[in-house]
Amino acid sequence: ELGAYPFYMLKEIDEQPVVLRRLLSNYTDADGQVNMPEELLAAMQQADRLYFVAAGTSYHASLVAAPLFEQLAGVPVTVAFASEFGYHMPLLSKKPLFVFLTQSGETADIRQVLVKVKALGLPSLTITNVPTSTLAREADFALSLHAGPEIAVASTKAYTAQVATCALLAQALGIYLNNDAAKQFDVAHKLTMIATAQQQLVDEKDQIHEFAQKMFKTTRNAFYIGRGSDYYLSLEAALKLKEISYIQAEGFAAGELKHGTIALIEENTPVVAIVSDPVTAAHTRANATEVQARGAAVMRIATESLAQPGDELVVPDTDPLLTPLVTIVPCQLLAYYASLDRGYDVDRPRNLAKSVTVE
């Protein structure tokens, strides 16, 4: 199954453009219209708020998904950790609908929330890579991620499949609700372009390996910074790095640095700055310059239209709502090579299981 690959993680990173195209062929028709189950859209139409409840990487995908539903379908979204939500449930809206993003469909923290939600008689949707899983069977609705088995403990292709599936669903819901923003958002075309961008990035492995060597060879800690979707991406990039390379890594809202965390910056502290949002690019750049002046080793990952001379890595442009589908690829590769170069078992990091079936 591994073929020529040394680890499943690398194979699964490489599979992402294929997964994206597979999702498109499963959820769109020939003229680019998104097809989602009518009963699901009807149930979502009734909802006055969506509650995304998830863990780990799936929680990070939920953070990226939320603005898609808010902007394309006009429905407010709350995102919560499953391990917190069940025991500290916020005051719910009048007509909530629960969305459980989960690669395995077996995460115990989510299951306890689903049990409570069902007891309250509230509607639920599981979006999972395992259609036969407990959470898929027990929720009112289920959608498949079509990513194929994910073996490496560090989730990669499931993350991009989750974000892409949510983009497709948000657009379908927006159209169903007759929302102009959704009508103008050609999601099929955008995801097709993103698959091409991902392919370009997985083909640039050697360059990214060099960055990983430069940035992470001996460091004990690292930071990823960004704003908006770039911040959510930073959280996922940091989780990837820490879980397989054991480097203490933090994803940070770039503007929050100066409120405390900047005290941690020393000579050569690695800081990866993500610049893909035209509205906040200048601010994030200013934050990157601030940490550089204090000795940080900065790597800027910028989208083409926002790139400036000296940026270490330039990635293709896409819609600001969807840039994590592109910027995550170099970040996954940075984590992979950091782990590989330290001689670790990339696919089976210490203390972790692929699916977390205890609370």
118, 190, 205, 354: which one is catalytic? 354
Nearer to ligand M6R, 77 or 154 (CB): 154
Angle at 194 between CA 17 and CA 130, to 5 degrees: 45
Q: Which of 14, 10, 36 is CA-nearest to residue 23?
A: 36
**Residues 6 or more apart from 140 whose CB is under 8 A from it?**
43, 123, 124, 125
Question: Strand, coil or helix: what is 309?
Answer: coil
Query: Is 234 an interacting residue with respect to ligand M6R (CB under 6 A)?
Result: no
Query: Is 155 an interacting residue with respect to ligand M6R (CB under 6 A)?
Result: yes
Binding to ligand M6R (CB under 6 A) within 78-97 occurs at none
Q: Which of 58, 165, 280, 332 binds ligand M6R (CB under 6 A)?
A: 58
Query: Is 355 an interacting residue with respect to ligand M6R (CB under 6 A)?
Result: yes
Q: Which of 136, 154, 170, 298 binds ligand M6R (CB under 6 A)?
A: 154
**Rounded-to-integer distance, Cα 167 and Cα 72, Å:** 9
Position closest to ligand M6R via CB: 56
Query: Is 356 an interacting residue with respect to ligand M6R (CB under 6 A)?
Result: yes
354 is catalytic: yes
How far apart are CB 282 and ligand M6R at their closest, in Å? 32
Q: Which of 282, 190, 265, 266 is CA-nearest to residue 227?
A: 282
Question: Would you say 328 and 233 are in contact if contact means Cβ atoms under 8 Å apart?
Answer: yes
Query: Is 57 an interacting residue with respect to ligand M6R (CB under 6 A)?
Result: yes
Q: Which stretch binds ligand M6R (CB under 6 A): 40-48, 102-110, 222-230, 269-277?
A: 102-110
How far apart are CB 287 and ligand M6R at their closest, in Å? 26
Binding to ligand M6R (CB under 6 A) within 335-354 occurs at 352
Query: Is 107 an interacting residue with respect to ligand M6R (CB under 6 A)?
Result: yes
Nearer to ligand M6R, 34 or 54 (CB): 54
Nearer to ligand M6R, 52 or 176 (CB): 52
Q: How many helices (H) and strands (E) does the chain have?
A: 14, 10
Place of tokens 């950790």: 81
**Residues 6 or more apart from 127 whose CB is under 8 A from it?**
99, 100, 101, 102, 142, 143, 145, 162, 165, 166, 169
**Rounded-to-integer distance, Cα 26 and Cα 144, Å:** 10
Inter-axis angle of helices 229-245 and 56-68, nearest 10: 170
Query: Is 55 an interacting residue with respect to ligand M6R (CB under 6 A)?
Result: yes
Binding to ligand M6R (CB under 6 A) within 254-313 occurs at none
Residues in touch with ligand M6R (CB under 6 A): 55-58, 102-104, 107, 153-155, 239, 243, 352, 355-356
Catalytic amino acids? 354
